Amino acid sequence: MEKLKQELDRLIATLPNEADFRRKLEDLFSVYPFNEYEYIISALLGADKLTFDEYVELRDDYISRNRFLYIFEISAPRGFGEAWAQGHLSELVPDLVKPSKKLDKDYSGQYDFFLDAKIKIEVKASRAVDFDTTEPLYVKALATDSLKDFDMNFQQVKPACCDVFVWLGVWRDKIRYWVLASKEVSENRYYSAGQHRGNVGEGQLHLRRDNLREFVHYETRSTELLRAIREAYLRQHS
C-alpha cells in the first residue's frame, strides 16, 4: 500500500489543479466499491496523466506485492489460526493427518497434526502488521521490505503437548515458515511461560523486527517442510 500511495502521490503532483484535487480528496466520501483509489485513478486517466497500459502495469505490480493480503481480511481468530493456517499447511504437506484417539490413544485435542504415526505437531500463525496504528488489519498489513515495526505474537504455546512446532508468518507479499523442536521453543530466551494466570505449561513468544534474525536457522521453504518437521523431531528426541 505504501508504494502504491507514493506512486499515486507522484502522479497527483503532475495535475494542473493539484491543490484543488487534494482538497477534494480530504472531503471525499467513499462507499464500496467507489473509494479514494478509484477516484484518484479515474481522475489521472481522465487528465491523461496515466495511460491505460500504465494503469494495468500499476495494477499488476500491486497485485504481485499483495498476493496474501486476503489473509489479513480473515477477522475471526479461529478462522485464521485454525481454518486457514492448518488448511494451508495440510495442502503443503499432504502426509500430515488429523490426530484421533484411534491413531493416538492419549490424544485429547492438545496438538494439530500427526505424522509418521509418532510426530505430534502444533501449528501457530501470526500476521505482520504496523505496530503503531489502530487501522484495520488489511490496511496496516506490512510487506517484507517494510521498515515499520511489527510484533507477531505466537500465543497459547504448550511445549509439553507436542514434538514439533510449525510457525507461519504472513506478510502482504510472502508467507514464511519456521519449524522448531518443542524444547527449542521452551528453552528459547524469548519464550515467556505463564501467558495466563493459572495456565500451567502455556506461554507465548514474540517475533519482532529486532529478533527475527535469531530464528533464521529454523526457517524453511514451503517445499522443505516435511523434511524440516522430521529433522526437528529427531532434534527433540536426541
Give the cell for residue 134: 489502530
Confidence (pLDDT) at 199? 57
The helix (run of H) or strand (run of E) holding residue 184 is helix 182-186
Does 129 share its domain with 43? no
By DSSP bridging, strand 164-170 and strand 191-193 are unpaired
Does 44 share its domain with 90? no
Does 82 share its domain with 108? yes
Does 21 share its domain with 107? no
By DSSP bridging, strand 164-170 and strand 119-127 are parallel
Does 133 share its domain with 115? yes
Does 78 share its domain with 164? yes
Cis peptide bond N-terminal to 33, omega within 30: yes
Does 15 share its domain with 127? no
pTM: 0.82
The helix (run of H) or strand (run of E) holding residue 229 is helix 225-236
Burial of 107 (0-12, 13-18, 19+ CB in 10 A): middle
**CATH code for the domain of 94:** 3.40.1350
Does 103 share its domain with 38? no
**Burial profile 200-236: b = 16 or more Cβ within 10 angstroms, e = fewer:** eebbbbbbebeebeebeebebeeeebbebbeebbeeb
Confidence (pLDDT) at 195? 53
Q: 55 is in which domain, residue-wise?
A: 2-65
Does 83 share its domain with 42? no
> Number of folded domains in the chain?
2
Does 87 share its domain with 58? no
Query: How would you write the pLDDT of the chain (238 residues) with one tens digit per residue?
Result: 778 888 899 999 999 999 999 999 998 888 877 889 999 999 999 999 999 999 999 999 888 889 999 999 998 878 898 899 999 999 999 999 999 999 999 999 999 999 999 999 999 999 999 988 888 888 899 999 999 999 999 999 999 999 999 999 999 999 999 999 999 999 999 999 865 555 567 899 999 999 999 999 999 999 999 999 999 999 999 9
DSSP state of 195: S
Confidence (pLDDT) at 70? 92
Handedness of CA 110, 111, 116, 118 (dihedral sign): negative
Give the cell for residue 99: 490426530
Does 89 share its domain with 43? no
Last residue of a domain, one of 65, 99, 119: 65
Does 31 share its domain with 147? no
